[in-house]
Amino acid sequence: MVSVSRAVPDGQPGSRPGAPQRISVLGATGSVGASTLDLLAREPERYSVAALTAGSNATELAIKARQHQAQLAVVADPAAYAALKADLAGSGIAVAAGPSGLDEAAALAADCVVAAIVGVAGLRPTMKAVAQGRRIALANKECLVSAGSLFMDAVRRHGAELLTVDSEHSGVLQTFEHHNRDEIACVTLTASGGPFRTWSAAEIEGATLEKALKHPNWSMGAKITIDSATMMNKGLELIEALHLFDLRPDQLAVLVHPQSIVHALVEYRDGSVLAQLASPDMRLPIALALTWPARRPTPTPRLDLAKLGSLTFEAADEVRFPALRLARAAMAQGGGATAALNAANEVAVAAFLAKRCKFVHIARTVEGALEALAAGGQLQVPSDLEGIMALDDEARRAATAILARLG
Ligand code: NDP
């Protein structure tokens, strides 16, 4: 985690003492966006809304922009601009669209930018916010999977503050003793195991979209829900943790914990293990990213361990869930492998969501794309954002070709 060198002290928002903190939400119409806006609406004296963005859902964006009296509303899809403009006519809210509009939203003066766009589509706008030296509450893990070192370098160079919104990484943040970092043996991220945790390999072979979209514990956007079912999500999170906490691959582990109450465990060399527990509710890690290092009351349901009775743990099975093995291998390989993994996965998940491929084709597509790019010597570390996006394009092409072959 990059340090909080220009932390805004709790209760003293930004450079305007006494004024509410200005928050921008990139990906405001999604699941993390909704949880963030719910938190902001509960404390209007503490927070105001700067920019809100969406991909293409102009109707929902306009509703949220009016509700939260945003300064600026931006839709990524230029085709949705006219609808957004019409919906916000007379509101006084500025409207923009396309990549330049997203840049404008990311660069608008704000005390914190919540990066909650799904996929690598969020990388450029989040980098733009980083370049302003803002506090970034990062949900968009694909930024770190695709561009980890580049992203972290930019955070340091621009003096930005990076706070994670992912619940497991928030758990690590809360149990990671920076003053004892040399004494840390292992960081473990827990995984619910998803809807297919108890399914045999043969049953997983026939998994349907409807079943894959039924996450046992969390209500999230479609892409991360499928990533949870394949367990690619946990693999992406390992890569995210590697960069956030500056760890080695061999210091990172996954533990299946179906109740999603323990989010992360940090083991020290003296044998002590510190764990973070909370009800599964994204508003807790989001709130913490907004207020860190301070804590504020949240609407997250209190834990009642006596009522829960027992918490269970089991090893992750990388045979039935090969996506986790692939992510681990890409993390160990480094270079461009994680960017390619992410891009191929995005293509395969989109195909599965559109019912154009089987569930098990997702991991097969990712594996095939990585093999094809490795064979072509295309997995070197890209040196800049353009290089990352070029590699991302190559991996997408390879994945699309494999999906066509898989039928
Ligand atoms: P959703 O699918 O619910 O929301 C995604 C948001 O991104 C929407 O606002 C969507 O707009 C916008 N968007 C989609 N495509 C584009 C694009 N091409 N350009 C700009 N904006 C776009 O996702 P989640 O909220 O579930 O997840 C967001 C991120 O947070 C992901 O990276 C995920 O891994 C991470 N995360 C999510 C958690 C969760 O509980 N949901 C937990 C931890 C991490 P539109 O509505 O118009 O499509």
Do 199 and 246 lie in a common domain? yes
Per DSSP bridges, beta strands 184-191 and 262-268 are antiparallel
Do 274 and 384 lie in a common domain? no
- Domain containing 371 — which CATH number? 1.10.1740.10
Average pLDDT over residues 12-28: 79
- Residue 221 beta carbon below 6 angstroms from any ligand 1 atom: yes
Q: Please tell me the predicted confidence (pLDDT) of residue 16.
A: 64
- Residue 123 beta carbon below 6 angstroms from any ligand 1 atom: no
Mean pLDDT of the chain: 95
For residues 220 and 31, the answer to whether their CB atoms sit within 8 Å is: yes
Do 102 and 192 lie in a common domain? no
Separation between Cα atoms, residue 276 and residue 189, nearest integer Å: 10
Q: Please tell me the predicted confidence (pLDDT) of residue 217.
A: 87
- Conformation bin of residue 350: beta by default, left when phi > 0, alpha when psi is -120 to 50: alpha
Q: Which atom of ligand 1 is nearest to the CA of 219?
A: 40
- pLDDT classification of 212: cutoffs 50, 70, 90: very high
For residues 28 and 116, the answer to whether their CB atoms sit within 8 Å is: yes
Q: Which residue's CA is minimally distant from atom 36 of ligand 1?
A: 139
Does any domain span residue 1? no
Distance 179 CA to ligand 1 centre (A): 34
Q: Which residue's CA is minimally distant from atom 21 of ligand 1?
A: 55
Distance 116 CA to ligand 1 centre (A): 5
Give how far Cα 300 sits from Cα of 80, 259, 279, 380, Å.
Answer: 35, 16, 7, 43
- Residue 75 beta carbon below 6 angstroms from any ligand 1 atom: no
Of the candidate ranges 6-20, 235-249, 317-331, 362-376, the one whose mean pLDDT is the lowest:
6-20
Q: Please tell me the predicted confidence (pLDDT) of residue 18.
A: 77
Do 139 and 175 lie in a common domain? no
Residue partners of 40: CB distance under 8 A and separation at least 6: 23, 47, 49, 68
Q: Which residue, of 106, 135, 165, is where some domain finishes?
A: 165
Does any domain span residue 291? no
For residues 187 and 176, the answer to whether their CB atoms sit within 8 Å is: yes
Q: Which atom of ligand 1 is nearest to the CA of 222?
A: 2
DSSP state of 80: G
Do 250 and 183 lie in a common domain? yes
Give how far Cα 382 sits from Cα of 72, 389, 390, Å.
Answer: 33, 9, 9
Most informative mutation of 102, 118, 146, 281 for ligand 1 (most atoms within 8 A of CB): 118
pLDDT in tens, 105-119: 999 999 999 999 999
Q: How far apart are the first and last CA of the chain?
A: 42
Distance 34 CA to ligand 1 centre (A): 10
Q: Which residue, of 134, 165, 196, is where some domain finishes?
A: 165
Mapping DSSP onto H, E and C, the string for 211-255 reads HHCCCCCCCCCHHHHHHHHHCHHHHHHHHHHHHHCCCCHHHEEEE
Do 147 and 40 lie in a common domain? yes
Does any domain span residue 5? no
Q: Please tell me the predicted confidence (pLDDT) of residue 104.
A: 98
Q: Please tell me the predicted confidence (pLDDT) of residue 335.
A: 85
Do 247 and 375 lie in a common domain? no
For residues 237 and 132, the answer to whether their CB atoms sit within 8 Å is: no
Does any domain span residue 66? yes
- Domain containing 117 — which CATH number? 3.40.50.720
Q: What's the number of domains the chain is made of?
A: 3
pLDDT in tens, 27-63: 999 999 999 999 999 999 999 999 999 999 999 999 9
Residues found in the chain: 407
pTM comes to 0.95
Separation between Cα atoms, residue 204 and residue 358, nearest integer Å: 10
Q: Please tell me the predicted confidence (pLDDT) of residue 218.
A: 82
Do 182 and 144 lie in a common domain? no
Do 143 and 178 lie in a common domain? no
pLDDT in tens, 318-335: 999 999 999 999 999 998
- Residue 339 beta carbon below 6 angstroms from any ligand 1 atom: no
Separation between Cα atoms, residue 343 and residue 113, nearest integer Å: 24
DSSP state of 382: P
- Residue 33 beta carbon below 6 angstroms from any ligand 1 atom: yes
pLDDT in tens, 82-134: 999 999 999 999 999 999 999 999 999 999 999 999 999 999 999 999 999 99
Of residues 381 and 17, more confidence is placed in: 381
Does any domain span residue 286? no
Do 133 and 201 lie in a common domain? no
The first and second tokens of residue 351, run together, are: 């195909």
Q: Please tell me the predicted confidence (pLDDT) of residue 6.
A: 30
Q: Which residues pair with 266 in a beta bridge?
A: 187, 274
Does any domain span residue 11? no
Does any domain span residue 9? no
Output phi, psi for 317, to 5 deg. Answer: -110, 100
Do 157 and 176 lie in a common domain? no
Does any domain span residue 225? yes
Do 149 and 210 lie in a common domain? no
Nearest Cα to 75, choosing from 145, 119, 125?
Answer: 125
pLDDT higher than 50, residue 137: yes
Containing structural domain, residue 210: 169-281+303-315
pLDDT in tens, 155-174: 999 999 999 999 999 999 99
Q: Which residue, of 145, 165, 185, is where some domain finishes?
A: 165
